[in-house]
Copies of this chain bind each other. A is one copy, B any other.
Amino acid sequence: MSYIAPVKDMLFDIEHLADIEQIAQMPGFEEAGLDTAQAVLEECAKFNEGVLAPLNVEGDRHPSSWKDGQVTTTAGFVQAYKQFAEGGWQGLQHPADFGGQGLPKTIGAACIEMLNSANLSFALCPLLTDGAIEALLTAGSDDLKSVYLEKLVTGEWTGTMNLTEPQAGSDLAMVRSRAEPQPDGTYKVFGTKIFITYGEHDMADNIVHLVLARIPGAPDGVKGISLFVVPKFLVNADGSRGARNDVHCVSIEHKLGIKASPTAVLQYGDHGGAVGYLVGQENRGLEYMFIMMNAARYAVGVQGIAVAERAYQKAVAYARDRVQSRPVDGSVNGPATIIHHPDVRRMLMTMRAMTEGCRAMASVAAAAYDAAHHHPDAQARKQNQAFYEFLVPLVKGYSTEMSLEVTSLGVQVHGGMGFIEETGAAQYYRDAKILTIYEGTTAIQANDLVGRKTARDGGQVAQAIAAQIEKTEGELVRRDSVAARAVARRLVAARKAFLDVVGFVVQQGKASPNAVFAGSVPYLMLAGNLVAGWQLARSLLVAEDLLHKGQDASFMQAKIATARFYADHILARAPGLRDAIVEGGDSVTALPMEAF
């Protein structure tokens, strides 16, 4: 088996860190306890291990192809997508009213991880559909909802996000596509959109494009952008598929990775205008798009965890198999499998600890999302929402950056074989590279963290998180275990580094914007590192308790060893980041532009 879903680790996080039983107390989630989580995850594992994982290499070797405006996906994808839709996997987190199962994100996120581990390229299609569903749920009229939502939730149709244009990437203010109002209340959409994931494909009957465009006379910049639904095929009054709309795929990109996923250039309106339907109100498109983006950003963070997990599994398998050299401690008298060698262990532990740390962070973020939407108490909802929003750039930014390190180590563990494409380790390295770029680069996440999430409230949410971390430190030092105390020491140092940086951001943001934003990505890396390390520290506390109760000793010992490793080797990076941010801000922009 090329991928085995880490169901046990996921359930540990869901039970002990995200506290699923607490979530199951909230209105609407009554069915969503640990038993449900386990049943869903096991079913999900079966599907992904059996159906999607084997198609991953195929997709890399035989990418989607374009001919005369049509895209043909990798052989096997159409059938696999059918099974995906029929299994109800698209609707896992979406409302039962529209054909979904209404499960918490806490459970859904684990399923999304499996999907992406199994097949990152395939998983992008449902990921984008999720975004379209969110946008329509939030801002769509009843008409739009009734025409599109059930089709999307059941996976019969798929969705896309159309933001980017050649001149408008990170900077959406520069969007030029235009939408001209028609007498019947619809719009005619014109323009070119690029980098549209699954913008064209053969896996579903219809594609529902959500498109940013300007209505004539709208204000300049981001305040003049509206959001439109533009279906590939118009929909008849009876819900059946109607005429082909004027949106066409003129090419797909030749990419470094995620090759099975077609990245389309879409041309709107070359034959008279594509029929579009306004979503919500005029000029509020960016706001609605952010709903999709925030869902998608979290999901891209999970993609980072997913590809890291798969790279880890492959590296472990190779390290157990490949025989080379005598161990330095003499434990084997002759050549041994390379997992005996300390540096191979360091690489595997780094991969494992980073992956588990980010998974734990994503799991508690999902729980906060669920509580923010379902907690009966308004104050608790608000607090959870703030916590979730702080975590989104960390889940997206830190998990994807760590996936670059993990997939690079994955190649390295394989030595020369890693560089040979047939081995497969290189695919993860190539696939992962997009994750720090799309749905907002790491710098864009970091700007969000610095601006909206830290400076705007004077660092209050950041400090509240630090206070929670301090409580965990207190619990750790009360333990008499060496591991707990070692973890506590690194956690204290990392938290203090974090607070220094938060203070710097809050105090210097106005006076020295260049210095603060020069440190934005290092700040994100520090904060993500800290929160992931904190969750592993919590895991250690739980694991020690359960170990004392005699529960699953080898799993609990592994949790403790992994948390300890993370603290010693990854959290230990935090103080250096603090120094670079707080004391090195000016040196980033000291070299004049013309001197590069």
A residues apposed to B, CB below 8 Å? 164, 167, 169-171, 173-174, 194-195, 253-257, 316, 319-320, 323-325, 328-329, 335, 339-346, 348-349, 352, 404, 408, 411-412, 415-416, 418-422, 426, 429-430, 433-434, 436-438, 441-443, 446-447, 486, 513-515, 517-518, 520-522, 554, 557-558, 561-562, 564-565, 568-569, 572-577, 579-580, 583-584, 587-591, 593, 595-596
Neighbouring B residues of A320 by C-beta, 8 Å: 593, 596
Q: With A415-B437, A437-B416 given, is the CB distance from A342 to B256 under 8 Å?
A: no
* Bound: A343/B329 CA distance, A: 45
- Cross-chain contact B593 with A565 (CB below 8 angstroms): no
Q: With A164-B416, A171-B325 given, is the CB distance from A595 to B342 under 8 Å? A: no
User: Contact between A588 and B345 (Cβ–Cβ < 8 Å)?
Assistant: yes
Report yes or no: B565 in contact with A595, Cβ–Cβ below 8 A.
no
Report A520 CB to chain B, min CB distance, Å: 6
Identify 6 new A-B residue pairs, CB closer than 8 A, beyond the known A194-B416, A343-B521, A572-B584.
A253-B419, A339-B593, A345-B518, A346-B518, A569-B584, A576-B576
A596 to B346, CA, bound (A): 12
Closest-by-CB residue of B relative to A569 is B580
B415 in contact with A434 (CB, 8 Å): no
Label chain A's interface by main secondary structure: helix
CB-CB under 8 A from A514, the residues of chain B are: 328-329, 342
Q: Are B561 and A587 closer than 8 Å at their CB atoms?
A: yes
Q: Quick one: given A254-B422, A346-B521, A419-B256, are A433 and B429 in contact (CB under 8 Å)?
A: yes
7 shortest interchain CB distances as A-B pairs:
A568-B584, A342-B518, A343-B443, A342-B517, A171-B325, A256-B426, A561-B591
Output the nearest chain B residue to A584 by Cβ-Cβ distance. Answer: B568
Chain B residues positioned under 8 Å from A419 (CB to CB): 253, 255-257, 433-434, 437
Q: Are the CB atoms of A416 and B438 closer together than 8 Å?
A: yes
Q: By the criterion CB–CB under 8 Å, are A443 and B341 in contact? A: yes
B404 touches A517 (CB 8 A): no
Residues of B within 8 A of A564 (CB): 587, 590
Given A339-B596, A419-B257, A420-B253, A588 and B325 contact (CB-CB distance below 8 Å): no
Alpha-carbon separation in the docked complex, A253 to B420 (Å): 7
Q: Which residues from B are CB-within-8-Å of A253?
A: 419-420
* Cβ of A441 to closest chain B Cβ, rounded Å: 6
Residues from chain B with Cβ under 8 Å of A335 in the complex? 171, 173-174
How far is the CB of A523 from the nearest CB of chain B, in Å? 11
**Complex-state Cα separation, A140 to B94, whole angstroms:** 74
- Inter-subunit contact A565/B587 (CB<8 Å): yes
In the bound assembly, the distance between CA atoms of A348 and B593 in angstroms comes to 10
For the complex, give the distance between the alpha carbons of A345 and B418 in Å.
32
Which residues of B sit under 8 angstroms from A195, Cβ to Cβ? 416
* A572-B562 in contact (CB<8A): no
Decide: A349 near B255, CB < 8 A? Known: A430-B430, A433-B408, A437-B419: no
Closest Cβ of chain B to A259, distance in Å, is 10
* CB-defined contacts of A342 to chain B, threshold 8 Å: 513-515, 517-518, 520, 588-589
Residue contact A576 to B572, C-beta cutoff 8 Å: yes
Q: Which residues of B contact A587 (CB under 8 A)?
A: 349, 486, 561, 564-565, 568-569
- With a cutoff of 8 Å between Cβ atoms, the chain B residues found around residue A171 in the complex are 324-325, 335
- A412: chain B residues within 8 A (beta carbon): 436-437, 441-442
Q: Look across to chain B and name the residue whose beta carbon is closest to the beta carbon of A174.
A: B335
Measured CA separation A342–B591 after assembly (Å): 11
